[in-house]
Amino acid sequence: MAANSSTGSATEPPGLETQWREIDNLNQQQLRSGDSWYLLDKRWYDQWKEYVHTGDQNSSSYPGKIDNTELYEDLDSYHLKERLTENEDFVLVPAEAWHKLLSWYDMMDDQPPLERKVVDLPSTVKVEVYPVEVYLCLSSNLESTVSARFSRADKIHAIHQKIRQHFNVSETAESRLWMRSTDTSSERLRNLNMTVLDTCLSSGMTVIMEIRNADGTWPTSRPQIMRNSADEDSYQGPPGVCGLTNLGNTCFMNSALQCLSNTPPLTEYFLKNSYLEELNFTNPLGMKGEIAEAYADVIKQMWSGRHYSVVPRVFKTKVGHFASQFLGYQQHDSQELLSFLLDGLHEDLNRVKKKEYIELRDADGRPDQEVAEEAWHNHLRRNDSVIVDTFHGLFKSTLVCPECNKVSVTFDPFCYLSVPLPVSKERVMEVFYVSLDPTAKPTQYRLIVPKAGRVIDLCAALSQATGIPPNQMAVADVFNHRFYRIYQTDEFLSCILDRDDIFVKYSWIKQKLCLSCVMIVSLHRRYVRPLDPSEEVEEEEDEEELYKAQTNGVSDGMTLFFILKETNTFILQGCIKSIKSDCEAMLQKIPISNKSCGSTDTNSQDATDVDQSAGAEPSGKEEEDEDEDEEEEEPASCAQANKRLPGRRHYTERRKKALFTMQAVNSNGTTERGMGEADGSFSFSSQPYIAIDWDPDMKKKYYNENEAEKYIKHQSMDVPHQQTTVQLQECIELFTTVETLEEENPWYCPTCKKHQLATKILDLWSLPEVLIIHLKRFSYTKYSREKLDTIVEFPLRDLDFSGFLLKKTVNSTEPPCRYDLIAVSNHYGGLRDGHYTSYARNKDNGQWYYFDDSKVTYAREEQIVTSAAYLLFYQRQDKIRHPTIPPPIPSSTQPENHISSQTRDGMDGAASCVSMETD
């Protein structure tokens, strides 16, 4: 039975199998423009799936009320967190599925539903998780703004009406709209029937309404609306040394653009307007020249020398038009953006207007030179552009069938090299260990475990540090102040993410006393100040009110080992056996009134007796005994927490005020579900959790909360994590190593007439003028998903590829194989978030700069090689032009917050200024 909310809106749900079938069927619906879908916290949804799949209504995996707390930035504005990822942070369910779940489980009090609309965008239909949030104001008062959210499919007319309504502008007043960002001049919104997407209106911008003056003039003659700041108008700086404004999680795009901007042959091609003669408007694989034109506009602004920073808003919108994965403002991969952009520029600038069909031939034993020349010639018959001229090379692919030994050789073009990094077979994990020693604080350990290991391996590693046998440890994931998951020893460690809070407990149980009960007692005993008899507080309480106070549930604020600041409740898990007598023995050492649990009986009895007698009506004799017992300080039994029942008789008793009350609850901390007995008593077998509700005043007076939240760092935490260092040449060697195809990607053998897991080897045949090397830092295996922070040491000059080229005969007409570095795209952070920046060498003055969105700083060469390096741009030495302009001297006279010298030493200088930043 689902827990009822305070509003009583939850209804009796169907059986668990029916629940799953109904929701799963509804989730198969196709997206239709205008429909509503809802966001659900991923962990809550996973907990619900686990619950319905158990087939047990009393399962401890019962999810409780729908709780989207983790999706909100705060619980005051209920503003959605930035950078949330579908199927990692949240899931989307259609409206009908949402309403069913809401009727069965209810929702946490005061939380608004996260409804989002399906929008029909140029290349896709999708749920718009993050609508455009803009500021609205009148030209007469630019300081008074109000924020509002609009769908990208909304028309500007909707914004126009919103401003009229909020600022009480008469419908008869003649008005017009302008849109303005913080870094560029205002633009007129002339067509009210255009969509928000088509006008390139993005989050953070301001829409200004002007109202015509009585004399017929418009207020926009004033410069503060129409023009940039005076500093921007008068600025003159080095061409190309220009930042790019972050439009909202667009650092991935800015980083890639800065690298391409500092690729000399491509930039000069656009600055000289060579692209105008080669725009291909008819290529069905292209984008009608729009990507090339938008890119050209950005490059020209960046190299004009007239801007501190350029807003690539139009370019961002064009990318979203043609690549739906980049719509919106979530974080993406700079390599994926670069791949799309190079392909899009190529097709928009392809000199081949009509591509002919070419049948590919296998080598069939022919000499490599012949096959390679044929492959490159065929490639140019269909693909001929500045991108091919600059970035395309050729590699040889050799496949060997494991059954018939058929050898297939092909030569294929490439635009960049994605090279693997040596993957460590070990993993560093940080866990908190909690012992039964009441004088010992929880201790944080840093452990080295097998990357493909299991939970038992984690316990074994911790055992070496603690001396506790691995089979006497319990491993739990604590999330949102509750047990999110208890791990079995045979589960893979890959299911534990680096961001999870993992607690390991010593689980040896003496005299059938469950671990969690000991934690109620032993661990927290030292945090409670002994009661002074002179401080004891007496209270009068009606029995029915007392019952209500004890069984109101503890659904908000639960934790494994600590009492939270924002709540007076914590919850612990355990298989409750003879809990009454065992807890009494432990509670003897804590000065708690015998009325803590509302008990009128101090006789010792086992859990079964408690369940059977929980509904018994107190007799008059018992009431007299209570009065006598008030003077004694006997311990309260947590098994007596639910002894009192309402409705039998109303009477008032005087009793000492308790520190806390204890009761059995389910995994969500509620008591409405699984009552177990017809008379309303609780069954500990179906309610395997104990909740302790502290009295707020007593907790403040007697409980040392600051002390309870402390923990100790083991010396292993002081040992810095040693980063692995490899040479770039090692990564290239791995790229050319023989590998066996994966089962998901077999090769069809023309001889065997079936798919085979062939062996494959890639060899480099010819290299382009500008070689892009993609370091594959993001590792995805069946065991784990991680980002590799390996330091790859790459040369800034004289990268020699002659040893890697299969084509050994180099004559005087062939280009050399030595390269110099010209740009680097960096990624700081982990899998789900992070920040992109870039280093680049200016083609005119030879100076290195560090680009961090709109901020630009000077950089030294020794700062460039870091563990954040992600994309490397190398130019062939014979094509590098020596600077014609001497590099500037870093000076304090440069514009503030624009170009400044980095004063930190070594690579830490750049890393430290951004490593804690996220978009």
Instruction: Please identify every residue annotated as catalytic.
Output: 251, 835
Q: Burial of 497 by CB count in 10 Å (0-12 exposed, 13-18 middle, 19+ buried)?
A: middle
Helices 251-261 and 290-302 cross at an angle (nearest 10°) of 80
Backbone angles phi, psi at 503, to 5 degrees: -115, 135
**What is d(CA 714, CA 445) in angstroms, rounded to the nearest whole number?**
5
Token duo for residue 252: 């991935």
Number of C-beta neighbours around residue 568 at 10 A: 19
d(CA 378, CA 394): 12
**Whole-angstrom Cα distance, residue 332 to residue 385?**
27
Instruction: Tell me how long the chain is.
Output: 919
For residue 319, give the nearest of 282, 281, 293 by alpha carbon.
Answer: 293
Rounded Cα distance, 347 and 265, in Å: 18
Alpha helices (runs of H) in 528-634, residue ranges in sequence order: 543-550, 579-587, 607-613, 620-629
- 3 state SS of 684: coil
Strand partners, 188: 178
Cβ atoms of 159 and 194 within 8 Å: the answer is: no
Q: How many CA atoms lie within 13 A of 898 on its CB side?
A: 22
- Cα(385)–Cα(601) distance, integer angstroms: 90
**Max CA pair span of the chain:** 112
CA within 13 Å, CB half, 561: 27
Q: Report residue 486: phi and psi, to 5°.
A: -105, 120
CA distance 258 to 297: 14
723, exposed or middle or buried, with CB in 10 Å at 0-12, 13-18, 19+? exposed
* DSSP 8-state code for residue 520: I
Tell me the HSE value of 158 on the side-chain side, using a 13 A CA sphere: 13
Residue 737, Cα to own-chain centre: how many angstroms?
A: 34
- How distant, in Å, are the alpha carbons of 353, 432, 433, 459, 546 from that of 712? 69, 9, 10, 19, 39
